[in-house]
Amino acid sequence: MNVVGALTVLLVCQTIGEALARYFELPVPGPVIGLALLFAVLVARGRLPAGLADTANGLLKHLSLLFVPAGVGVMLHMDRIGAEWLPIAVALAGSTVITIGVTALAMQALMNGRGAERK
Amino acid sequence: MSGGIAGVWVYLSTTPLLGLTVTLLAYQGAYWLYERANFHPLLNPVAWSVAVLVALLVATGTPYETYFDGAKFVHFLLGPATVALAVPLYAQLGKLKRLALPLSVALLAGSLAAIASAVGIGWLFGASRETLLSLAPKSVTTPIAMGIAEKLGGLPGLTAVLVVATGIIGAVSAKYVLNALRIDDHAVRGFAVGTAAHGIGTARAFQVSEEAGAFAGLAMGLNGLATALLFPFLLWLVVRAGWA
DSSP B119-166: HHHHHHTT--HHHHHHHTTTTS-HHHHHHHHHHHTS-HHHHHHHHHHH
> Would you say B112 and B230 are in contact if contact means Cβ atoms under 8 Å apart?
yes
- What is the pLDDT confidence band of residue B116, given thresholds at 50, 70 and 90? very high
- Does residue A83 sit in the same domain as residue A119? yes
Cβ–Cβ gap B200/A106 under 8 Å: no
The sign one gets for the Cα dihedral B160, B161, B162, B164 is positive
- Does residue A77 sit in the same domain as residue A113? yes
The sign one gets for the Cα dihedral B221, A7, A46, B88 is negative
| Entry pTM | 0.82
Q: What is the pLDDT of residues B89-101, one digit of tens each?
A: 888 888 888 899 9
Pick the more confident residue, A33 or B233. A33
The C-alpha of B6 sits at a distance from chain A's nearest C-alpha, in angstroms, of 25
- Does residue A44 sit in the same domain as residue A11? yes
- Does residue B94 sit in the same domain as residue B62? no
Residue B157 has a pLDDT of 84
The C-alpha of B242 sits at a distance from chain A's nearest C-alpha, in angstroms, of 23
Distances (CA, A) of B128 to A75, B124, B212: 19, 11, 37
CA distance linking residue B64 with residue B67, whole number of Å: 5
Task: Going from the first residue of chain A to its last (119 residues), give the mean pLDDT of each consecutive group of 10, the final group possibly shorter.
Answer: 92 96 82 90 92 90 87 90 94 97 96 55
Helix-helix angle B16-36:B45-60, to 10 degrees:
140
Q: How many CB atoms neighbour CB A94 within 10 A? A: 18
- What is the pLDDT confidence band of residue B27, given thresholds at 50, 70 and 90? very high
- Does residue B56 sit in the same domain as residue B129? no
Mean pLDDT of B111-126: 95
Domain edge (last residue) among A14, A31, A61:
A61
B183 neighbourhood in chain A, CB within 8 Å:
104-105, 108
CA distance linking residue A100 with residue B192, whole number of Å: 5
Domain count, chain A: 2
Cβ–Cβ gap B103/A97 under 8 Å: no
- Does residue B135 sit in the same domain as residue B65? no
Q: Is B6's pLDDT higher than 90?
A: no
* DSSP structural state of residue A41: H
Cβ–Cβ gap B83/A17 under 8 Å: yes
- Does residue A54 sit in the same domain as residue A6? yes
The sign one gets for the Cα dihedral B225, A16, B67, B130 is negative
- Does residue A1 sit in the same domain as residue A55? yes
- Does residue B188 sit in the same domain as residue B100? yes
Domain count, chain B: 2
Q: What's the CA angle centered on B76, arms B14 and B73, to 5 degrees?
A: 30
Q: Is B224's pLDDT higher than 80?
A: yes
**Which of B8-12, B24-28, B219-223 has the lowest average pLDDT?**
B8-12
- Does residue B117 sit in the same domain as residue B164? yes
- Does residue B111 sit in the same domain as residue B209? yes
Question: What whole-number percentage of chain B has pLDDT above 90?
Answer: 55
Which of B23, B52, B82 is most worth mutating to test chain A (most A CB atoms within 10 A of its CB)? B82
Q: Is B20's pLDDT higher than 50?
A: yes
Domain edge (last residue) among B16, B46, B76:
B76
Residue B243 has a pLDDT of 61
B213 neighbourhood in chain A, CB within 8 Å:
60
Q: What is the pLDDT of residues B198-208, one digit of tens each?
A: 989 998 998 88
Domain that holds residue A79: 68-119
- Does residue B136 sit in the same domain as residue B211? yes
Domain edge (last residue) among B26, B51, B76:
B76
- Does residue B59 sit in the same domain as residue B173? no
A38 at B interface, C-beta within 8 A:
yes
- For residue B99, the one-letter residue type is L
Q: What is the ipTM of this complex?
A: 0.86
Q: Which residues contact A102 (CB under 8 A, 6 or more apart)?
A: B109, B110, B113
Q: What is the pLDDT of residues B120-175, one digit of tens each?
A: 999 999 999 999 999 999 999 887 788 788 778 888 889 989 999 999 999 999 99
- Does residue A57 sit in the same domain as residue A76? no
- Does residue A7 sit in the same domain as residue A48? yes
- Does residue B31 sit in the same domain as residue B134? no
Distances (CA, A) of A80 to A75, A83, B55, B193: 10, 5, 18, 28
- Does residue A37 sit in the same domain as residue A56? yes
Mean pLDDT, chain B, whole residue set: 89
- Does residue B23 sit in the same domain as residue B134? no
- Does residue B135 sit in the same domain as residue B184? yes
Domain that holds residue B37: 1-76
Tell how far CA B201 is from the center of its chain: 7
Domain edge (last residue) among B76, B105, B122:
B76
A77 neighbourhood in chain B, CB within 8 Å:
155, 157-158, 161
- Does residue B67 sit in the same domain as residue B87? no
A21 at B interface, C-beta within 8 A:
no
